Structure 1
Amino acid sequence: MTLVRRRTFAAGSAAFALTAPYVARAQKKYDPGVTDKEIKLGHTNPYSGPASAYGTIGKAIAAYWTMVNDKGGINGRKVDFISYDDGYSPPKTVEMVRKLVENDKVFAIYQLLGTPTNTVVQKYLNQKKVPQLFVATGASKWGDPKHFPWTMGWQPDYATEAAIYAKHIMANHPNAKVAMLYQNDDSGKDYLNGFIAGFGKEKDKFLVKVVSYEITDPTVDSQIIQLKDSGADVFFNHATPKAAAQAIRKVADLGWKPVQYLVNVSASVAAVLKPAGFDNAKGIITAQYLKDATDPQWADQPDFKDWQAWMKKYLPDANPADSGNVYAYAVSATMHDCLTRCGDDLTRANLMKQAASMHDLKVPMLLPGITINTSPTDFYPIQSVHLAKFDGAKWSLFGDVLSNESA
């Protein structure tokens, strides 16, 4: 296991069970969104618009809670998962989140997707003391309990991921000329800053060209042409699924043959690599922390079998090769664990307390060697990744786990 920065990994694991026992019953304490029979969770997702490929995640989360409810709910309470389409438009997100909090009276906002969309409601939710839990974005800003004690991320943060790519480039391509495409928003700037930090004093030697794009741009063709013309032989692709696939295809169309690195959030075989063309995507490197549904090595693992059974029963028309379905299952299992440990103290403060006290938690579909750890001062649940290379059909892991977990 290799340490990258910020923190030290604490080895070990804690088994996760959907029927985990919870604390002994005490006097019931409820905040808005909870009754003896129900827990309301609020969510927004881009089911339409330029980031609609992520709509899969919202649908899969809904299917997860349907499964939980079919098994009796959480400590006897059914989960009412309320999800609205915000189209990846921050003004729409503000409208939808206010509706969830003030009209629907949800207990917590859970897995709201997108960096710009989470940003515009972060202050509001913290002022209202409504949990903004396990946001679907890896921006580093979600781990700031001092200033935003009601907001917590889940996945590895973007800056760390980018730094890992930079260090891998320096170690394996010491004479590389590197070009980067990034989305012009907070998430893209996080990746850019992490990438620069990863190169350290060697930044000017390696990084020869950086070009941004807007989420509303119809294509990124012109940006890829600029990057190719820089003479770069390594390409770091930070883009949401549609633009990421366009970039990979354009690289191939131009006859450009750089070593390619692709961000984890766009590493879906079904949503990105297949549209880009498997031949065009062969050899791309990414960072993973979840099991890839297309990788046969997991076929006999109990959690993978359970995930497959869930997909067949609750998402029969979904594409199992879309990594969003794995992501939704794992992050929902994390929320499931926190809600279970709340017992009958279903106050928002206790939910945050449980979220901030996960120790070596192993939820379904995390890669071996990766666990979830948080504390009152550590709001980064997952800070371990494993590099993988696309072989033309599936992602293949290589090397060691790279980690920033804390004890």
Structure 2
Amino acid sequence: MTRNRVHVPRSLAILLALALVLTACGGRRDDSESTGGGGEGSTGTEGEGAGAVDASNCPETGTSGVEDGTIKFVSSFPQSGMTAAFSEISKGYKAYFQYLNEEEGGVEVAGESYQIEIEDLDDEYNPARTSTNIDELMGVEGDQAFGVFNVVGTANNIAIRDNLGDLCVPNVFAATGSPAWGNEEYPWTIGSTLAAYSLEGAVFADLLKQEQPDATVAMLVQEDDFGRAYEEGFRNAIEGSDIEIVQVESYPTGANEVSAQMTSLAATDADAFFNGATLLACPNALQRADAEGWDPITWVSGTCISKTLMGIAGESATDVYSMTNVMDPLNPQYDGEEAMQLYREKVEQYQPDADIDNGIVAYGWTQGVLLVEALRNSEELTRQSFMQSVRTLDGVEGGLLLPGTSVTTSAPDDTFMGEAVQLIQYGFNGSPDNSYFENVGELRDFEGETPDLTPSELINA
């Protein structure tokens, strides 16, 4: 098991003792939804204002993880084995935190400056191990860090959300597009800019309605909540149309061998293929479809659009569709963007082994930027106040979000961040280093619509 820790010490000028906030944030906003959060030595409150989280039954740990001018977060994600590709995400946000600490003096919250520290463990995409890792990193009482950040995987986040909710620990920017992060029974968990998987289904359905309104569709999905969200979300999106799903095949969570499933799907000769696989199963499915001589209109999961996975698929990925809200570092149209130039410079400086052309590194950088913005917008540095901030983001821009794109959350009705999306199509140009996704059409804004476009059972999972 590997343990990684990134912490850049503050300069002497700002190494002053920090007086911890001893009272919970009451939330001084005008709207009416209730919530709470408590600090050490304080009694949690119900809270008040939009996006508030009720902390009246929380342990007195509202400022845990804030010490000596540092805010500590922890994470768990695959770092070894066949699922290690996801570890590239962390290089993006670690580079941003190092840049912030070294060059910007950290993040200012309620008039005080703090460094960001992140510590993580390898879970190999195994939910049970994710749970063990977070227990170890957070401690039995949930007081060894301020919050949990960017844990990868739907099942992995579901494995930890009950305990973190009971301990009133923020679990933020979950690296998964599961619609379940909109479930208000778990207000201490919130997703990231990855669009809900049900939105992917809606965008692909709209594309088929334009290109081939009577299309037959074959689907490949993972055998878990991640796969279920794709299948049920797409079924919901095509309801009332002439589009028909003719076959669905599934594969075990974390597996990469899908040849048998693809042979079966190719035999349908369906007009369209919804490739809801992730990690190596995704490019392997594309290669197998090619080998079978099957050439359908193809959609790939938003978790599969990285340079690494598309590069493995190679020519077999030509013309596949997906969607995103983050700039592709390989797309030359973004070379002149100031945000892209800063990203390239600082990731290369602070994480020199990172592949700055890889879209998942860009995604990680962007989540780091948005985490810091949520901290800046917190009225007090308590868990309760921070959660209220991240649940009420208002048109926040930053990182490598597509030009014209911002993040808005409006708890309790809509906590989904990734609602402005761009349809994209992959062009293979001989090698992964020269191949990238091109934008197709205009940016689409689903702000406030995700709950209506998603089957309620997926949100309430």
TM over 0.5: yes
- 8 Å Cα contact 1:49/1:88 also seen in 2: no
The reply to whether residue 280 of structure 1 matches residue 313 of structure 2 is: no
- 8 Å Cα contact 1:130/1:348 also seen in 2: yes
The corresponding residue for 1:10 is none
The corresponding residue for 1:383 is 419
Post-superposition offset of 1:110: 0.9
The reply to whether residue 399 of structure 1 matches residue 441 of structure 2 is: yes
Alpha-carbon distance between aligned partners in 2 of 1:382 and 1:245, rounded to the nearest angstrom: 24
The reply to whether residue 107 of structure 1 matches residue 140 of structure 2 is: no
The corresponding residue for 1:173 is 212
Three-state SS of the structure 1 residue aligned to 2:403 is: coil
The reply to whether residue 352 of structure 1 matches residue 384 of structure 2 is: no
The corresponding residue for 1:123 is 162
Alpha-carbon distance change, 40 to 91 in structure 1, aligned in 2, over 3 angstroms: same
Cα deviations across residues 21-64 of structure 1 (Å, max 9, x unaligned)?
A: xxxx9984451100241111011011124422101112332222
Correspondence list, 1:273-312, <5 A: 273-277=310-314, 279-312=315-348
Alpha-carbon distance between aligned partners in 1 of 2:327 and 2:422, rounded to the nearest angstrom: 10
Correspondence list, 1:3-402, <5 A: 28-29=21-22, 31-71=63-103, 72-75=105-108, 76-102=113-139, 105-145=144-184, 147-154=185-192, 155-202=194-241, 205-268=243-306, 270-277=307-314, 279-342=315-378, 345-377=380-412, 378-392=414-428, 393-402=435-444
Post-superposition offset of 1:310: 1.4
Alpha-carbon distance between aligned partners in 1 of 2:411 and 2:233, rounded to the nearest angstrom: 24
Post-superposition offset of 1:132: 0.7
Which amino acid is the alignment partner of residue 83 of structure 2? A
Post-superposition offset of 1:198: 0.7
Alpha-carbon distance between aligned partners in 2 of 1:125 and 1:27, rounded to the nearest angstrom: 22
Which amino acid is the alignment partner of residue 339 of structure 1? L
The corresponding residue for 1:21 is none
With CA pairs under 8 Å and 6+ residues apart, which has the higher RCO, 1 or 2? 1
Which amino acid is the alignment partner of residue 138 of structure 1? G
- 8 Å Cα contact 1:138/1:153 also seen in 2: yes
Alpha-carbon distance change, 248 to 321 in structure 1, aligned in 2, over 3 angstroms: farther
- 8 Å Cα contact 1:126/1:148 also seen in 2: yes
Three-state SS of the structure 2 residue aligned to 1:358 is: coil
- 8 Å Cα contact 1:163/1:196 also seen in 2: no
Percent sequence identity is: 28
Alpha-carbon distance between aligned partners in 2 of 1:402 and 1:296, rounded to the nearest angstrom: 21
The corresponding residue for 1:4 is none
Alpha-carbon distance between aligned partners in 2 of 1:131 and 1:217, rounded to the nearest angstrom: 30
Alpha-carbon distance between aligned partners in 1 of 2:356 and 2:203, rounded to the nearest angstrom: 28
- 8 Å Cα contact 2:301/2:322 also seen in 1: yes
Alpha-carbon distance between aligned partners in 2 of 1:386 and 1:184, rounded to the nearest angstrom: 27
Which amino acid is the alignment partner of residue 439 of structure 2? L
Q: Between Structure 1 and Structure 2, how many residues are aligned?
A: 378
| Cα RMSD after superposing both structures | 1.9
Three-state SS of the structure 2 residue aligned to 1:66 is: helix
Post-superposition offset of 1:322: 1.5
Cα deviations across residues 359-401 of structure 1 (Å, max 9, x unaligned)?
A: 1111121112321001231211221211011122221101122
Alpha-carbon distance change, 218 to 333 in structure 1, aligned in 2, over 3 angstroms: closer
Q: Unaligned stretches of 5+ in structure 2? A: 1-17, 23-38, 40-62, 429-434, 450-461
TM-score normalised by the chain length of structure 1: 0.89
- 8 Å Cα contact 1:51/1:240 also seen in 2: no
TM-score normalised by the chain length of structure 2: 0.79
Three-state SS of the structure 2 residue aligned to 1:149 is: coil
Post-superposition offset of 1:207: 1.1
- 8 Å Cα contact 2:174/2:190 also seen in 1: yes
Post-superposition offset of 1:160: 1.4
Question: Over alpha carbons, which structure has the higher Rg?
Answer: 2
- 8 Å Cα contact 2:409/2:417 also seen in 1: yes
In the TM superposition, structure 1's runs of 4+ consecutive aligned residues that sit over 4 Å from their partners are none
Q: Unaligned stretches of 5+ in structure 1? A: 1-24
Of stretches 76-85 and 113-122 in structure 1, the one that deviates more from structure 2 is 76-85
Three-state SS of the structure 2 residue aligned to 1:287 is: strand
Cα deviations across residues 332-365 of structure 1 (Å, max 9, x unaligned)?
A: 100011112236x211001101112211111121
Post-superposition offset of 1:403: 2.2
Three-state SS of the structure 2 residue aligned to 1:77 is: strand
